[in-house]
Structure 1
Amino acid sequence: MANFDEIFGEQWKRSVEKICGASESSSLGFSQAWEIATSALKPRPLNEHPPPRDQALVLAAVQRIHKAKMTPFLIDSFLGDLRKCEHFIESEINESMGRYDASQDPNEVAQLIDRLAQWYKHWVPNPNSQSLYKTFQLAFQTHLFSFLPLSFPDAFKALLVETIGQPVESNVIVFQRFEVLGFLDRYESLLASVVYQQIELRVAETCPKEWTSRKLADLRTWLKEKIVPWLAAPYARGARTVEDARAMVSGIISRFDFHVCRTLCDLRIKEIFDIIVDYPDSMDALIDLKECLTRVDQRPQLVTALRKANHKRLLHPGADTKDILSQYVSTIKCLRIVDPPGVLLYKVADPIRRYLRERPDTIRSIVSSLVGEGGDLIDESEQPGPVQTVAEDFSDPNWEPEPIDAGPEFRTSRPSDVITTLVSIYDSKDLFVKELQVLLAQRLLAITDGNFEKERRNIEILKLRFGEAALQVCEVMLKDMTDSKRIDHHIQAQGQSIMHPTVISRHFWPPLQGSRLRMPGQFREIQENYGRGFSAFKPDKRLRWLPHLGEVHLDVELSDRTVSVEVSPLEAAIIELFSSKPVWSMDEISVKLGQLDHVTVQKGLLTWIEHGVVSDQGDNTFRLLEQASTSDVRPAARPMDIIEDTSPVVTTEQQQADQMRIYWQFIQGMLTNIGPMPIERIQGMLRLAPGYDRTVEQLGGFLEAARREGLVLFMGGMWQLNR
């Protein structure tokens, strides 16, 4: 009878082998396979290696366990051993990050990642089992990420920055480590943020205030040569050919190109006011801005920034009207480059146009530019064309619909010249024509050499802009000047005269400055003699003298000296009085010259006091200095209330003010008979008055001035007399 233990042990062995799928012919038992596999997979310190075994034997052991359906138990055993070795990794991370926190040296992070890659390689299961490998990878990365401190993302970002610009070969090795450790997937957003940051730094370093070269092209070249090769390592992993790599990174490159355009666009929007000031030298910056706006939707930001800058730096009382007009013209030219349809210009220009419309000297500044005194408003190469508004032509084969961001009041129009745009600030061209007449009159009367060719050329150019009919009065003015020269030559030929007056047609010239001045003595005699010669030449006409206008060349002969001066007729009339007696009072001079006010007389006397010809004796008494004596000459202190007015022509503002004084009688009668009225009704009734051509805005300004003087009140939207 066999031994019980032997019989039982033999049966147990057969049962286990049956369960495990082994047979007596198997070369490797389960127990032996388990021992070989667990020993080979067991994690160890880096300086310790597993006992040497044949890899084929280890693989056979793993397969034997898998065949026995015991792989989950092998994995549990492996994970348990792995958890026992976690402290090695934790210790490495803490030490390396401690050194980085103290030094902020990205090399510490690089050494840590290299060390972690060594741990990973040392512990990775050698048998070719996907389940074992994936389990190990997940467990290793899970433990690794749990040990990383909160400062690690910033440290890893600093390391990424260091890798930009490094050789591609070295970066491939570094990013392979990142991928093995799972950093590329976990910190993918950091990769993009590093590139975004580099783009912003590049723009900040190379682009501010650089408007004379195409910076967008330079940025794209930098992106292609420096950033794209760096992107190939993380984003083109697994590419077999160059075409595959290019296809894999094309999407991310497009995102970064978008960020380049957006960052540069942000910068140029901040600088847009100064870019416009620097035009045309800033042409390249404008072209870059135009290209950026086609990629990024920042048109509203551009409008907001430019309107805000204009309000702060341009549209305020301290800015000169010519400077505002110059900036407005530059704005027109620049925004036409950035946005040819004109939507941006329409949105930006409206506040400027409204502000210019409220300035009293805007028309005069624009008209000055029309006749060659406007600085840089008009481009010399720009051909003058008629001032008109071109209606939208829907039958044009090149017609395009309005842009999507155009407002409801925007209307697409053909690009017009600068002057047409400036004139369109106002509703009517009549205001400009009147100002043209005033300015032309001033310029013609200031000409002393008889050369009117420049003004004739200006008139011909203005005809192209405003038409023949609008410039008929200017033609008459120019004809008067040439006729006056001819008349003077004829009268001088009949009898020599020292006077050379300008004879003009009163009905075709703007009103000239009036005065009660009456020339005394020899001056009146010279006028009368010239008048008789004119009447003989033009029997059907007579002269009406404006003696206060013009210039007089005098040689004042005194006992010890002769003073040669060019003075106004008023000053000449005053010194003429001193030829009859040496001492005159202010009142006597005023009466003798036609009841002039004392301020006007004092202005004339100050000229002679400054030349040392007359002295102020006090008590408004003045004495002629036949002999120069500094003790008798008092300092000529020019009073503050004396304002020099060198223009002989009444300005448009003065004409409008005089006309509004007439219309005030109409307004006063309306408010008296009808009672409180809104401004629209006042405007409607004033249109019935002869010659009334004011806008509602101009009427509102006049009523506001009357309110400040206490003549009217404004309550509840109604104007009423202040009783």
Structure 2
Amino acid sequence: MLLNASQWFRAWLSPYNDGSIFESFPNHRDQLLQALQAHLRSCYFDGHAAEALRLYLKQLVVDHNDTKLHTTFVAHLYTAGLSGPALMLLTRVMHSEISHKVRAVVDAADLRPQDSVLPLESAARPVLQQWLDDEVKPRFAAIRQLCLPQTDTSTAVEQEPDSTQDTWQHRLDYQLDKALCLTRAGQLFDLVALYPESSAALEDLRLSLQNADQRLSVAKTLSDSLHMRLLHPGAHTRDIIQMYVHLVRSLREMDPTGVVLSRVVSPLRRYLRARKDTVLVIVASMLGDDPDFTLLKDELERADQEEQEQEQEHESKRRRRPRRSLQTAAAPTGFKSNSKRSTKRRLPHTRCRAISDSESSSDEDWDDPSWVPKPVEAGSGYRLSTSQDIISMLTSIFDDRSGFISALEKSMADQLVQVKGYKAMKEYRNNMILKKRFGERNMGKCDVMLADVTESRRIDSEVHQRSARAGMIGKLHPLIVSRQFWPEHTTRPGVQGANGATTAASGPSSAAGSVAEFTLPPLFRHAQEEYGKTYSRSKTMRKLHWLNHLGTVELDVELASGENISVECSLIQASTLEVISRCKGDRSPSSTTTAGSAMGPNVVTLTDVMEELNLQREKDARDALEFWVSVGLLKAVEGLADAFIVQSCLPPQLAVTEEGEEEDTHDEPL
């Protein structure tokens, strides 16, 4: 049909053809031609014809080898008056091909033989831009040139060739950036998780967002990915916080305007605020309690180092500033000092104040010299997202800072309880960093707890000098705490940590406050009483109240077979071993704390331990017995859940393990 219509128009337009109908109307030739072409389009160029033309144009774009055939086809379109619709369809086809190419190269979707997939974290925009400039634009320009009129409008085309060409080229560039934004938005969750290895891919997004302005679409896609893949009960709080930090860093690099970050950070902050263990995880990471998650501790040290460098730079500039003489130092009469200017000079060297969610709605900050207006597309968390301090952004999740400071105090107490030999240099250093972050006043209790460690070392040295007795008291080194300044879960037995969760402690000892009160065996109790008497003689009107649910004991246990085991355990576990050693009189397992040697097996029951130690909770006794089962000193009696046999030698698997560990220690290179 297209060929027939083209032949009709050629015959009607030819002045040498008898069938020419336009020669009779030379003054209205163009108007009649346009009217006839419009009538033809309305009658025959329906949806099916448009779809067929689109498919042919798509084939023309994809397979452009037969240039002569394509030129003839475009010429027929021009003659039949279909060049305008063909250009519109061609533009759509080009846009579709650009989107297809981006998905194939970036996301490995709908691959063709000529497509090559790039790694996720690598830059794709330079490759796609080169493909667009070398292949798509020349092809589009050639077809477009054939579709444009060559006679009547040639003068207009010659007048503005550059602007017209720039327009359609910019549209193709825009389509490339738009497709790249939408494709990268679906990968943005993975790119954030891989940051900083994915910086090249994020640079693609940064450049594309500048041209395509798809920030709202990118933010919506990323927010949906966060809700589906991260903000659910199955995700660990540590992973959510790590994603939060990577999100802030990567999105600031990708979108300096802060629009995308402001749109996605608020739901993440609300979810973290609702989790009960968020404070504990943040504090543990800041103080380095969790060796597998030191991200916030590294961020804290990095921010502290940057602040010190800024202070040193400011101090060096101040020293290099020339001093004014006394004669010129005085200000002239009527002169007003520019306080605003001096305030602005000091601002870069002051720490940014944490902003809470309630303050985030303020659009004005009169003390910020680098203030910029809030973007129209920015979300409710825009002011929070502009903070350069990631730690402040995390701590400002909670409107009440007292809860966060309380968690800091509990974490500090748990660390100090685990300190051996009164060596708390790491805790001192952490406290100094935290005081710079949260202020001297907020960290007052931590200062007192650290002072208790120093004072305990001095008192312990004095007590051992005064005490003339040897034995157990010589191996007792308590931490004397000021009860009013230590957290309740530390000073009261049976009280759990914050949010009802037990705070994990390093080493074999149980968590602070997880064991109820119990009575010590005479061996340990007499040592405590002797130590307390010596302390009272040096500290008049004071006496010690022992917290037996805390602390650790180092034991060297000798079995009947002559095997020795070095064990570090809690006080209730050591007391349970003392009960086991007295179950059979003289023939009992022994340690360095009691004389004698292990002579044969014995049976100890759960009731024996509970009665000897006056335990109120069966769980405490069972946990202590299970500990010695794991060590290899006890073995459960078959058929009796509460009875255990004392072993005269270690089980073979444990003996082999200990021997292997000893060999590994000797073979380890220095």
Q: 2:576 aligns with which of 574, 577, 582?
A: 574
For the residues of structure 2 that align with 1:349 and 1:279, how far apart are their CA atoms?
17
Paired position in structure 2 for 1:124: 14
The within-5 A match list for 1:190-339 is 190-208=89-107, 211-236=120-145, 237=148, 238=150, 245-296=161-212, 298-339=214-255
For the pair 1:405 / 2:377, whether they are aligned, the reply is yes
Instruction: Out of 428-437 and 129-138, give the one that drifted further.
Output: 129-138
Alpha-carbon distance, 1:283 to partner: 2.7
For the pair 1:441 / 2:357, whether they are aligned, the reply is no
- What secondary structure sits across from 2:295 in the alignment? coil
The within-5 A match list for 1:36-75 is none
For the residues of structure 2 that align with 1:175 and 1:332, how far apart are their CA atoms?
52
Instruction: Out of 612-621 and 340-349, give the one that drifted further.
Output: 612-621
- What secondary structure sits across from 1:212 in the alignment? coil
Alignment-mate amino acid for residue 236 of structure 2: D
Tell me the alpha carbon deviations over residues 428-474 of structure 1, each in whole angstroms, 9 at most, x when there is no partner.
22112111111112122223254422222211111111011112221
- Choose 1 or 2 for highest CA Rg: 1
For the residues of structure 2 that align with 1:461 and 1:179, how far apart are their CA atoms?
76
Paired position in structure 1 for 2:449: 477
- What secondary structure sits across from 1:131 in the alignment? coil
Alignment-mate amino acid for residue 131 of structure 1: E
Tell me the alpha carbon deviations over residues 273-293 of structure 1, each in whole angstroms, 9 at most, x when there is no partner.
223222223333334334444
Q: Could you say if the C-alpha distance between residues 539 and 388 of structure 1 is closer, same or farther in structure 2, counting changes exceeding 3 Å?
A: same
Q: 2:484 aligns with which of 507, 510, 515?
A: 507
Paired position in structure 2 for 1:352: 268
Q: Could you say if the C-alpha distance between residues 159 and 243 of structure 1 is closer, same or farther in structure 2, counting changes exceeding 3 Å?
A: farther
Alpha-carbon distance, 1:307 to partner: 2.7
Alpha-carbon distance, 1:629 to partner: 11
Tell me the alpha carbon deviations over residues 168-187 of structure 1, each in whole angstroms, 9 at most, x when there is no partner.
98676764454234331342
Q: Is the CA contact (8 Å cut-off) linking 2:95 and 2:175 kept in structure 1? A: yes
Alpha-carbon distance, 1:344 to partner: 3.6
Q: Is the CA contact (8 Å cut-off) linking 1:315 and 1:355 kept in structure 2? A: yes
For the residues of structure 1 that align with 2:380 and 2:427, how far apart are their CA atoms?
43
Q: Could you say if the C-alpha distance between residues 553 and 159 of structure 1 is closer, same or farther in structure 2, counting changes exceeding 3 Å?
A: same
Q: Is the CA contact (8 Å cut-off) linking 1:184 and 1:234 kept in structure 2? A: no
- What secondary structure sits across from 1:525 in the alignment? helix
For the pair 1:601 / 2:621, whether they are aligned, the reply is yes
Alpha-carbon distance, 1:605 to partner: 2.4
Alignment-mate amino acid for residue 498 of structure 1: K
Alpha-carbon distance, 1:205 to partner: 1.5
Alpha-carbon distance, 1:254 to partner: 2.5
Q: Could you say if the C-alpha distance between residues 139 and 358 of structure 1 is closer, same or farther in structure 2, counting changes exceeding 3 Å?
A: closer
Q: Is the CA contact (8 Å cut-off) linking 2:57 and 2:90 kept in structure 1? A: yes
Alignment-mate amino acid for residue 544 of structure 2: L
Q: 1:388 aligns with which of 347, 354, 358?
A: 354
Q: 1:462 aligns with which of 428, 434, 441?
A: 434
The within-5 A match list for 1:83-102 is none
For the residues of structure 1 that align with 2:369 and 2:417, how far apart are their CA atoms?
52
Q: 1:592 aligns with which of 593, 600, 612?
A: 612
For the residues of structure 2 that align with 1:259 and 1:402, how far apart are their CA atoms?
28
Q: Is the CA contact (8 Å cut-off) linking 1:228 and 1:253 kept in structure 2? A: yes
Tell me the alpha carbon deviations over residues 378-412 of structure 1, each in whole angstroms, 9 at most, x when there is no partner.
53644464653397334766533222234688658
- What secondary structure sits across from 2:23 in the alignment? helix
Q: Could you say if the C-alpha distance between residues 152 and 452 of structure 1 is closer, same or farther in structure 2, counting changes exceeding 3 Å?
A: same
Alpha-carbon distance, 1:491 to partner: 3.5
Instruction: Out of 587-596 and 129-138, give the one that drifted further.
Output: 129-138
Alignment-mate amino acid for residue 270 of structure 1: G
For the residues of structure 2 that align with 1:130 and 1:396, how far apart are their CA atoms?
74
Alignment-mate amino acid for residue 476 of structure 2: M
Alpha-carbon distance, 1:556 to partner: 3.8
For the residues of structure 2 that align with 1:475 and 1:271, how far apart are their CA atoms?
47
For the residues of structure 1 that align with 2:625 and 2:560, how far apart are their CA atoms?
20
Q: Could you say if the C-alpha distance between residues 480 and 263 of structure 1 is closer, same or farther in structure 2, counting changes exceeding 3 Å?
A: same
Q: Is the CA contact (8 Å cut-off) linking 1:550 and 1:569 kept in structure 2? A: yes
Q: Could you say if the C-alpha distance between residues 412 and 158 of structure 1 is closer, same or farther in structure 2, counting changes exceeding 3 Å?
A: same
For the residues of structure 1 that align with 2:272 and 2:9, how far apart are their CA atoms?
75
Q: 1:180 aligns with which of 79, 83, 93?
A: 79
Paired position in structure 1 for 2:520: 519
For the residues of structure 2 that align with 1:612 and 1:503, how far apart are their CA atoms?
34
Alpha-carbon distance, 1:196 to partner: 1.2
For the pair 1:551 / 2:555, whether they are aligned, the reply is no
Q: Is the CA contact (8 Å cut-off) linking 1:552 and 1:566 kept in structure 2? A: yes
Alpha-carbon distance, 1:120 to partner: 4.1
Q: Could you say if the C-alpha distance between residues 295 and 483 of structure 1 is closer, same or farther in structure 2, counting changes exceeding 3 Å?
A: same
For the residues of structure 1 that align with 2:618 and 2:433, how far apart are their CA atoms?
45
Tell me the alpha carbon deviations over residues 668-704 of structure 1, each in whole angstroms, 9 at most, x when there is no partner.
xxxxxxxxxxxxxxxxxxxxxxxxxxxxxxxxxxxxx
Q: Is the CA contact (8 Å cut-off) linking 1:476 and 1:508 kept in structure 2? A: yes
- What secondary structure sits across from 2:518 in the alignment? coil
TM-score normalised by the chain length of structure 1: 0.63
Q: Could you say if the C-alpha distance between residues 226 and 558 of structure 1 is closer, same or farther in structure 2, counting changes exceeding 3 Å?
A: closer
- What secondary structure sits across from 1:430 in the alignment? helix
Paired position in structure 1 for 2:57: 160
Q: Which has the higher contact order (CA 8 A, sep 6+)?
A: 2
Alignment-mate amino acid for residue 183 of structure 1: L
Alpha-carbon distance, 1:167 to partner: 8.5
For the residues of structure 1 that align with 2:456 and 2:260, how far apart are their CA atoms?
52
Tell me the alpha carbon deviations over residues 226-282 of structure 1, each in whole angstroms, 9 at most, x when there is no partner.
222223334444469999543332222232222222222222233332232222233
- What secondary structure sits across from 2:568 in the alignment? strand
For the residues of structure 2 that align with 1:119 and 1:405, how far apart are their CA atoms?
53
Alignment-mate amino acid for residue 351 of structure 1: P
Instruction: Out of 146-155 and 341-350, give the one that drifted further.
Output: 146-155
Gaps of 5+ in 1: 1-89, 94-111, 631-723
- What secondary structure sits across from 1:318 in the alignment? coil
Instruction: Out of 309-318 and 492-501, give the one that drifted further.
Output: 492-501
- What secondary structure sits across from 1:555 in the alignment? strand
TM-score normalised by the chain length of structure 2: 0.67
Alignment-mate amino acid for residue 81 of structure 2: G
The within-5 A match list for 1:109-148 is 120=10, 124-126=14-16, 131=23, 134=29
Gaps of 5+ in 2: 108-117, 308-350, 494-515, 585-602, 652-670
Q: Is the CA contact (8 Å cut-off) linking 1:211 and 1:281 kept in structure 2? A: no
Tell me the alpha carbon deviations over residues 480-537 of structure 1, each in whole angstroms, 9 at most, x when there is no partner.
2233233333444455512222222222222215132221122222222322333344
For the residues of structure 2 that align with 1:598 and 1:163, how far apart are their CA atoms?
83
For the residues of structure 2 that align with 1:275 and 1:536, how far apart are their CA atoms?
66
Q: Is the CA contact (8 Å cut-off) linking 1:287 and 1:338 kept in structure 2? A: yes
For the residues of structure 2 that align with 1:505 and 1:563, how far apart are their CA atoms?
38
Q: Could you say if the C-alpha distance between residues 538 and 282 of structure 1 is closer, same or farther in structure 2, counting changes exceeding 3 Å?
A: same
- What secondary structure sits across from 1:247 in the alignment? helix
Q: Using the aligned pairs only, state the percent identity.
A: 30
Alignment-mate amino acid for residue 627 of structure 2: T
For the residues of structure 1 that align with 2:582 and 2:160, how far apart are their CA atoms?
109
Alignment-mate amino acid for residue 504 of structure 1: V
- What secondary structure sits across from 1:405 in the alignment? coil
Tell me the alpha carbon deviations over residues 123-161 of structure 1, each in whole angstroms, 9 at most, x when there is no partner.
833389973695997799699877889865445444434
Alpha-carbon distance, 1:362 to partner: 0.3
